[in-house]
Amino acid sequence: MFTGIIQAVGEIGGIEWRSGDARLWVKTGKLDLSDVQLGDSIAVNGVCLTAVQLRPDGFFADVSRETLSLTTLQQLKPQSRVNLEKALTLNTRLGGHLVSGHVDGVGRVIERRDDARSERFTIEAPAALARYIAHKGSITVDGTSLTVNGVEGARFHLNIVPHTLQETIMAGYAPGSEVNLEVDLIARYLERLVLGDAAAAAEPPSALTEALLARAGFICP
């Protein structure tokens, strides 16, 4: 688990392609690796990866074919900048929100514009994720915990302050940039809970409806 508070911006030192999957060498910059051991989890652009080899300036991680197909990691090249966060501990400040490191889909930056000292971003999520994105709710973009400032269908708006631009890779975003998205963990489990017995069906409902909520007891007759 992670908090979505980026601890360092690193860069890809190299990529070794291996029969359809890959091994990444991640140079970790200012990230403190003194307490990291083999097998520990580190989020790279919001993707939870396992450190399989350590070196003083970074670590190596294997990336499966599935992870490559479902995230933007397949687009990385040597010198690509990446957001980094070590897994949280029981005494970690939860400054963001609970983040699993399991990417739900890839979004696309639609617009970027100045807003006083901040910058406003509009990002389009895959249609299937739109129902999990709420005004003033939390969302993870490339591993960064952010607050949704507005929602229009599958598009949502973010207000990014100068500190976040400086401490993450968001300063490099431009219209067309693709980003890893993880929706709020609670929203995913809540939907499953509301489905009730229907969750066990071979083909559970694809969306919450008024009839389904009534059967589950959330709407009084």
Q: What is the domain class of 105-183 according to CATH?
A: mainly beta
Give the DSSP H or E segment for 65: helix 65-70
Q: State residue 219's pLDDT score.
A: 61
Phi, then psi, of 5 in degrees rounded to 5: -95, 110
**Any idea which fold 8-86 has?**
Elongation Factor Tu (Ef-tu); domain 3 (2.40.30)
Sign of the alpha-carbon dihedral angle for 22, 184, 7, 81: positive
First to last CA, the chain: 40
Asked if residues 79 and 11 have their Cβ atoms less than 8 Å apart, the reply is yes
User: Which regions of the chain carry the CATH code 2.40.30.20?
Assistant: 8-86, 105-183
pTM above 0.85, yes or no: yes
Please list the ranges in the chain whose pLDDT falls under 50: none
**What letter would DSSP give residue 197?**
G
208-216's contacts with Cβ under 8 Å and 24+ in sequence apart are 208/131
183 φ, ψ (degrees, to nearest 5): -80, 170
pLDDT value at position 218?
58
Query: What contacts 9, CB < 8 A, 6 or more positions away?
Result: 29, 81, 82, 83, 84, 167, 168, 169
